[in-house]
Chain A
Amino acid sequence: MVDGQGRIRPVWKPLLGAFSALGYGSLAQRARRLDRAFEEESVATVLEASAAGERGRTRRPWRCDAVPLILTAADFAALEAGLAQRARLLSAVLDDLYGPQTLLASGAVPARLVYANPHYLRPCHEPGQRPFPRLTFYGADLVRGPDGRWRVLADRCGGANGVGFAAENRALLGRILPEIFRPMQVRTLRPFFDAWLAGLQALAPEGVDNPRIALMTGGARQETWLEHLFLSRELGLELVEPGDLTVRGGEVFLKTLRGLRRVDVILRRIKGSACDPLEFEPGVGVPGLMGAHRAGAVRMVNSPGSMAAEAPGLHPYLPAAARQLLGQDLDLPQVETLWLGDAAARERLRAAPEAWRLRSAFEPSEAVRLGALEAFAAANAAEPWRYAATRPVPPSAAPTLVGERLTPASLILRMFLARDSSGEWRAMPGGLAHVLGEAGQEGIAMPPARRGAAKDVWVLTEDSADIMGPPASRAATLAIRRSSGELPSRVADEVYWLGRYLERLEAAARLTRALLQRLLRGAALPREMAEIRILARCLAAAGVLDAQGAASPPDGALLPRAIMAAAGPTGALLQMVEWVERPQAAVRDRLTHDMWAALAQLSQEGRAKLGRGSAGLDALAEAATAIIRACTNLAGLAAENMVRGGAWMFLDLGRRIERAQGTARSIGHALSEPPGRIEAGLRLALEICDSTLTYRARYLATVQAAPVLDLVLADPGNPRALAFQLQAVADRLAELGEPGDRLAVTAAALAARPQALVDAVRTAPDGLVAASELPDALLALESEIGALSDTVARRYVSHVQPRALGEEEEPAPPSAAAGEGQGPFTR
């Protein structure tokens, strides 16, 4: 920020002016808002915590410094030119190493360095020319030395993560600190993404006008998933997991509810070796994908195997490779690196071991334990070709906000480049900087594995002409579409279970609250005792209470203890909250922001209120109410904000099937009383179905079997009645299937059953007796609904795991989609 004489560099002056105008107190406040915004955005930290818990480590929330890193137009132009040259070089290196291998034949690159690299994927080596480039996206980690020059620290040819986060940093910083953008012309990121997208479209095979481009992610349980989500939004691409794709007849298809849809281009964001279990590592990926890619039927970028170009051990050979392949010298300096497979390099290391930092020859961010350096000094290092050594560079500092003060902190910068539709490399006018913290003190030789806060990167422009409009896109005019039948089957599966789990949680919370309200009233009347007994039975049937707790006397101390346990930190209710969290992460890209926020809130509140454990019965009643409210809020959002497409249909289908089963079951248990005591059951049936007010409005205080059962079972206008659920299930299945669909017909037949049950009660000589005979029929209906649900799952949402020839049959590995069969319910 300051030059050699301690004067503030002119480029920072407008920003510092904006900070002063805002006041450092408010700036610190905004910085806290920025943190919170990331927490909200970055998938409810709750979810991350639960996912991380499974893996036994915690994830830190993403943080972005309020102070950006500023690059002048001239700085950026030099970086862009140097990095574009480097991208051209690495692209040519990959084409050579996976093709004619002239670099090996000439000795410019040692063959051992290439063949020992685990990221050199042999199935990607082919004699002919590729019909499309291997490298179309590239990132570089840079460090600025004391001389003010940027040097390349590491190349990122595999994924170059962070580009999605960079866009997200910019968006949130702009939302929360709009003032600081005003005094300067900061280049926007949008044109870069437009150019990148145009470049991807241009990759499509000849004759494909409106190519389907998918971003392939490893799924919501991977650390990089959020980045993929941001990126898919920025580029407007379909986010798919390997399980969503299939190869047929040598072409790649997305499995949707309406059948297979051809995929033309894949922006690959999973490891190359995880692409295809037939040719790479067993177990993961899409069988045959590499073959389709090889034949050019699908264009996967970056090509699998691109990570081979990231090897730090390759650095010392890049200048010679540039001369051989490009006829040029490298413009942008790189940190000085030795590959220790070379005897002369080992000699240099031995001469001054303290001047070097050991690192993996193949992994850009992997440091090597100290003992290895001693082995090199003693000249007895085993397999020296696994290592590289880099001379560290003291990184320069830039201002960072700490509390209410600007403090200098050293940092590294990641920049991103993509090929546009004309094949030119374009750098994103921005990037992702990371504060180094202590790691920077003794100089930096490689990007640290763990990073500090991120920084937005601003590229200034002197000239508004730099702010370009979107390039002409190759995409043809889009036809209007209103159907969403192309929902990937996996998403249908996840959304369906989200609907079921939400409803299951809400129903459990309603029953729990009803029981708690009665327990809290203290000494109970005989009628209330009956209600408590019935509710305990319903809660046991719903899997909240265990059978023993449910059977304990309604006025003793055991029942309150049992319900406390069920609502406590290890109880069934909290587990139901966890079930809701499972599918939601995987379908985040299908939910609106508000729905997402509401789900996150449900998780947070549910965990906070249920996790306390020792709180009293009234606190639990409050927790149940909070859960019920959050669930109703979500149902409202789904009803009002979700387009009536595939995702909504499956969410609704899940919810309705679950509620139909739950209602049939609970009313069945409520009516399992002798005729003389059945009135309590009828009142509870009204309460469970949230229909007490409606009943009173219709029939005043007189409780009779037929009117009650009509309202909770058969009334097609009551959204809590059993018939309403079954009719909705029939409607959804009819919408999903062909006319006359067998499942829809079955569901419609089930939907007529509640009316028949009510008619039987209405025409019986004694309604109460007839009502007390209903439980068997209701529980039978529940299991028929369960059978329907199984058939639905088999047709629309079940997944089969592929396995290798010669592999013994084993229990399928738990997939992201599989629910691991928790609790008393089968999924």
Chain B
Amino acid sequence: MTRYALRHATLYRYATPVDLATHLLHLAPRAVPGQTVRSATLAVSPATSFRRNGQDHFGNGVAWLSIEQPHDRLEVVLEAEVEVAFAPPPPPAETPPWEEVRRAADDLAGVEAVEFALPSPLAPADAGAGTYAAQSFPPGRPVLAGLLDLIARIRRDFAFRPGVTTISTPVSQVLTGRAGVCQDFAHLMIAGLRALGLPARYCSGYVRTRPPPGQQRRQGADQSHAWVGCWLGPHHGWVDLDPTNDLVVRDEHVLLGWGRDYADVSPVKGILLGGGRQALEVSVDLVEA
């Protein structure tokens, strides 16, 4: 078990004051088997006129709030203490053939998974992504063996390069450009798995800022991170895989929540009245406590 102190600060500066802002925040670490949330506070400045916490469709914690006084900056700070120790995945050879998992997704046993086998706006049914992913799934291959092969290939074939993509860059473009950031790799992998009929979900969270002793620094530290939840069938359930770092998620990640793609769990959303040009600063620290 690893205990982390998490601090995620988001600062928006507006060139002219915003008169009225309405926000939807996906910034609450999710309590799941393997992750215990000891404490979590979400501070918003300036003062909110309305705030309500709840859960979204996927069961993630969300906060809805509004700021009804003119303001030229918005600061959202999440501070949390989280313990993580995700169970190791089953031996790959013991997982069912991937075709069986695909079938199970449409059975009653797959009722929790089938939603994530369907295309979604940022991870659509992309034929190219399907072809790319299919190379890891020859007939009859145990599903986890194929998945581990796929994240190793993504790590090898794609360059981690911030700035070449935006949130709206389509999967097809990432595939031809062979570069991007964690979101892009997650969307690419999800689109590819869905094209094969396999359920895959987008996980939003963080990876530790400093690597364990003797290892290299993880890509995607110092900012929001993303990886992929993969379904191994009704018996084994979900396993989280990080294609950006070619890692099985065990004790280096802290999970906020999941959705079909980034749009479902985007950390800070908002609609503004006024504001002019916007500037954004984000900082993330995830250190062992």
Contact = CB atoms under 8 A, between A and B. Distances in A.
Interface of A: 104-105, 107, 110-112, 115-116, 122-123, 125-127, 246-250, 277-279, 287-288, 291, 294-295, 383, 800, 802-806, 809
Contacts of A127: 55
Interface string B249-271: 00000000000000010001111
Interface stretch (B153-161, B177-185, B275-283): B275-283
Nearest to A289: B22
B269 A804 contact: yes
A250 B49 CA distance: 8
Given A115-B118, A127-B55, A804 B24 contact: no
B269 to A, nearest CB: 6
B277 A800 contact: no
Residue from A278, A383, A805 having most chain B Cβ neighbours under 10 A: A805
B269 A800 contact: no
Contact of A278 (B24, B49, B264, B280): B24
A381 to B, nearest CB: 14
Contacts of A287: 20, 22, 271
A291 B106 CA distance: 33
Interface in B28-58: 49-50, 52, 54-58
A115 B23 CA distance: 26
Interface in B117-139: 117-118, 125
B93 interface: no
A805 B10 CA distance: 12
B108 A123 contact: no
B111 interface: yes
A132 B2 CA distance: 45
B182 to A, nearest CB: 18
Contacts of B56: 122-123, 125
A800 B16 CA distance: 14
A800 to B, nearest CB: 6
B143 to A, nearest CB: 19
A294 B56 CA distance: 11
A805 B52 CA distance: 19
B280 A806 contact: yes
14 contacts: A111-B115, A115-B118, A126-B54, A248-B50, A249-B68, A287-B20, A287-B271, A288-B22, A288-B271, A802-B20, A802-B272, A803-B272, A805-B270, A806-B270
Interface size class of chain B, counting residues whose CB lies under 8 Å from the partner chain: 35 or more
B106 A112 contact: yes
A383 B125 contact: yes
Nearest to A804: B271
Given A249-B50, A287-B22, A805-B21, 6 more contacts: A104-B111, A111-B115, A123-B57, A247-B22, A249-B49, A383-B125
A111 B111 contact: yes
Contacts of B106: 110, 112
A250 B24 CA distance: 13
B271 A805 contact: yes
A249 B24 CA distance: 15
Contact of B50 (A116, A250, A802): A250
A802 B52 contact: no
B270 A804 contact: yes
A122 B57 contact: yes
Contacts of B115: 111, 115
B114 A112 contact: yes
Nearest to A106: B108
A805 B24 CA distance: 11
Residue from A250, A288, A803 having most chain B Cβ neighbours under 10 A: A288
Contacts of A809: 276-278
A809 to B, nearest CB: 6
Contact of A248 (B58, B68, B276): B68
B64 A291 contact: yes
B273 interface: yes
Given A122-B56, A287-B22, A804 B272 contact: yes
Residue from B55, B56, B270, B277 having most chain A Cβ neighbours under 10 A: B270
A246 B49 CA distance: 14
A278 B270 CA distance: 6
B111 A803 contact: no
Contacts, number: 95
Given A249-B49, A805-B278, A111 B57 contact: no
A116 B118 contact: yes
Interface in B46-87: 49-50, 52, 54-58, 64, 66, 68
Nearest to A290: B64
B24 A279 contact: yes
Contacts of B114: 111-112, 115
Contacts of A250: 50, 52, 66
Nearest to B116: A115
Nearest to A116: B118
Contacts of A295: 52
B68 A803 contact: no
Nearest to B113: A111
Nearest to B107: A107
A248 B257 CA distance: 29
B66 A805 contact: no
A295 B65 CA distance: 12
A242 to B, nearest CB: 12
Contacts of A249: 49-50, 66, 68
A802 B68 contact: no
A277 B55 contact: no
B68 A805 contact: no
A112 B112 CA distance: 10
Residue from A247, A248, A287 having most chain B Cβ neighbours under 10 A: A287
A278 B52 contact: no
B20 A246 contact: yes
Contacts of B110: 111
Contacts of A278: 22-24, 269-271
A800 B269 CA distance: 19
A462 to B, nearest CB: 51
Contacts of B264: 122
Contact of A803 (B117, B268, B269, B271): B271
Contacts of B50: 248-250, 288, 291
Nearest to A383: B125
A805 B23 contact: yes
B68 A806 contact: no
Contacts of B272: 802-805
Contacts of B280: 806
Given A800-B274, A804-B270, A107 B108 contact: yes
A288 B66 contact: yes
A584 B150 CA distance: 61
Nearest to A295: B52
CB-CB nearest 7 A-B residue pairs: A805-B270, A287-B271, A122-B57, A287-B22, A115-B115, A125-B57, A250-B50
Contacts of B269: 278, 804-805
B88 to A, nearest CB: 29
B232 to A, nearest CB: 18
Contacts of A122: 56-58, 264
A534 B277 CA distance: 49
Contacts of B24: 278-279
Nearest to B55: A127
A111 B52 CA distance: 29
Contacts of A291: 22, 50, 52, 64
A112 B105 CA distance: 9
B66 A247 contact: yes
Contacts of B274: 800
A631 to B, nearest CB: 37
A105 B108 CA distance: 7
B259 to A, nearest CB: 9
A808 to B, nearest CB: 8
Nearest to A248: B68
A548 B273 CA distance: 44
Contacts of A277: 271
B271 to A, nearest CB: 4
Residue from B19, B54, B110 having most chain A Cβ neighbours under 10 A: B54
Nearest to A283: B271
